[in-house]
A and B are shown apart, each in its own frame.
Chain A
């Protein structure tokens, strides 16, 4: 008889897998049986995550769009190769096999979808603007910076993957709180990220209680935007109020909106971009009209 080897689920910050600094954990129970101890992250874990996300964001954005695209595709490849592991883990958390299979396959497809957009959304959504003066005037999209999110509670993988893919494909870095009920696959997904050339700090995954962290996620001054998946009116109100301290952009989704096929559209990338407009003086010779 062999001793059981149980996995320790830790969190993912800056390309490493530390335990929560608070030392706290919660028991993940399925049908009254504990299947794992999960880190209950504190505000300090969150602060650490934001610090590394801020550091990583610049380098991530400086990579060529094509390279970002390759890396997103690489995540999809690695995830594809580990399908069975994810399906088994979801079954462990009490999800039926057929649902689990769909969840993984859709996640891979979603990554491929956003990988494709990395080097295309700029050309589609940037443009030269007609102006009345002799200026060459153009607008381009730039990533907002550090985005924090509450992944959909009802989804073990697809919700988390969708939220992350839309953010990092646009050059943002990301701090995500995984689903409270299904945290295991989120941490296993971190292992996938870690072996797919995603630079440390670009994606950071925390586990713990939404109720406890919502205040800290929304008040942090070094966070540029916040994505909330869920319907709790009080939490939404709190986020909207706190976001005003430094004008964080707030996006609210119902879980099913993130999980639906319709989430696969480039406007999800655009929601977390800032438009930069440049006025460049041009010489006007002999009253000739500017070509733009």
Chain B
């Protein structure tokens, strides 16, 4: 296995996180005021960073087609809007999404590795991943084995991520930490380190099935891990908060945080994404509000 050759620091020695400091710092990001033209530009940036997501047991092919249409045409009455970054679906629906998005530049992301619990054998997880990639997924969102992590089996978690990374081939790998099940900031930091050293292209907070999902303190903690890893190795890793970000205002707070902690380089959809289903409409409502001056109603925006 290639993972044998990877640098593998002692993850027990991962940096510890100052909980009070992290929370206070994120509170300060929320006090910035972004208005008028800057707000419009930022909102468009937010739209371009969205992974429009549907991960329900009740998903149908037509639901996915409808979501893809939304991804490409966010709001017909508003010119020069970007498309979203990607559409995120289950492996069985990758094919449909790929066909619907053909030629649009919108990527297809697929969850894999027995999402959302990740309680399955490695063989199943590899097969799951390969199936998604073979059907045309550009990005794979995998879940880690949280149980093994809590048992202290860091090498198991590391090897699993490295193996899935191999199975991904050219597809970019996002590793979902499921921070809601990790419990402490120290654990979040440690898993972030494990994932990045094992080859993750992105680290992602949550599946969206567990609450709490993405919160600003947790994301700050992960961003700092990415920054430290970058200084250590020179390799950039992306960040994707997912779940619970549903308002344009909170999305802007995240942009402020990325800009301040990571700098301009991370401020694009190659390195930063929002996993969200409801966020897009709220951003669109804000954009139309900026244009017309009137507060908007969800009655006038497509249901998704």
Query: A interface vs B, CB < 8 Å?
Result: 47, 50, 216, 219-222, 245-246
| Residues of chain A lying within 8 A (CB to CB) of residue B299 | 221-222, 246
A222 CA / B282 CA spacing, docked (Å): 13
Whether A221 and B293, one on each chain, are in contact in the complex, defined by CB atoms closer than 8 angstroms, is: no
Whether A222 and B298, one on each chain, are in contact in the complex, defined by CB atoms closer than 8 angstroms, is: yes
Q: Chain A's nearest CB lies how many Å from the CB of B34?
A: 14
| Residues of chain B lying within 8 A (CB to CB) of residue A221 | 294-297, 299-300
| Residues of chain A lying within 8 A (CB to CB) of residue B296 | 221-222
| Residues of chain B lying within 8 A (CB to CB) of residue A245 | 294
Q: Chain A's nearest CB lies how many Å from the CB of B298?
A: 7
A186 CA / B293 CA spacing, docked (Å): 30
Query: B interface vs A, CB < 8 Å?
Result: 293-300
Q: Chain A's nearest CB lies how many Å from the CB of B152?
A: 44
6 pairs from A and B in contact (CB 8 Å cutoff): A47-B295, A219-B293, A219-B295, A220-B295, A221-B297, A222-B296
A245 CA / B297 CA spacing, docked (Å): 12
A221 CA / B297 CA spacing, docked (Å): 5
Whether B297 and A246, one on each chain, are in contact in the complex, defined by CB atoms closer than 8 angstroms, is: yes
Whether B295 and A50, one on each chain, are in contact in the complex, defined by CB atoms closer than 8 angstroms, is: yes
| Residues of chain A lying within 8 A (CB to CB) of residue B295 | 47, 50, 216, 219-222
CB-nearest residue of chain B to A146: B297
CB-nearest residue of chain B to A220: B295
Q: Chain B's nearest CB lies how many Å from the CB of A172?
A: 15
A216 CA / B295 CA spacing, docked (Å): 8
Beyond A220-B294, A221-B295, A246-B297, list 10 extra A-B contacts (CB 8 Å): A219-B294, A219-B295, A220-B295, A221-B294, A221-B299, A222-B295, A222-B298, A222-B299, A245-B294, A246-B299
A219 CA / B289 CA spacing, docked (Å): 11
CB-nearest residue of chain A to B293: A219
A245 CA / B292 CA spacing, docked (Å): 11
Identify the 5 closest CB pairs spanning chains A and B, nearest first: A222-B297, A221-B297, A219-B294, A220-B295, A221-B296
CB-nearest residue of chain A to B296: A221
Q: Chain A's nearest CB lies how many Å from the CB of B170?
A: 44
Q: Chain B's nearest CB lies how many Å from the CB of A41?
A: 15
Q: Chain A's nearest CB lies how many Å from the CB of B157?
A: 40
Q: Chain B's nearest CB lies how many Å from the CB of A158?
A: 30
| Residues of chain A lying within 8 A (CB to CB) of residue B298 | 222
| Residues of chain A lying within 8 A (CB to CB) of residue B300 | 221, 246
Q: Chain B's nearest CB lies how many Å from the CB of A259?
A: 31
| Residues of chain A lying within 8 A (CB to CB) of residue B297 | 220-222, 246
| Residues of chain B lying within 8 A (CB to CB) of residue A246 | 297, 299-300
Q: Chain A's nearest CB lies how many Å from the CB of B116?
A: 27
Which of B293, B294, B296 is most buried by chain A, counting CB atoms within 10 A of its CB?
B294
CB-nearest residue of chain B to A51: B295
Q: Chain A's nearest CB lies how many Å from the CB of B292?
A: 8
CB-nearest residue of chain B to A246: B297
A47 CA / B296 CA spacing, docked (Å): 10
Q: Chain B's nearest CB lies how many Å from the CB of A229?
A: 23
Q: Chain A's nearest CB lies how many Å from the CB of B112?
A: 35
A222 CA / B296 CA spacing, docked (Å): 6
A95 CA / B295 CA spacing, docked (Å): 38
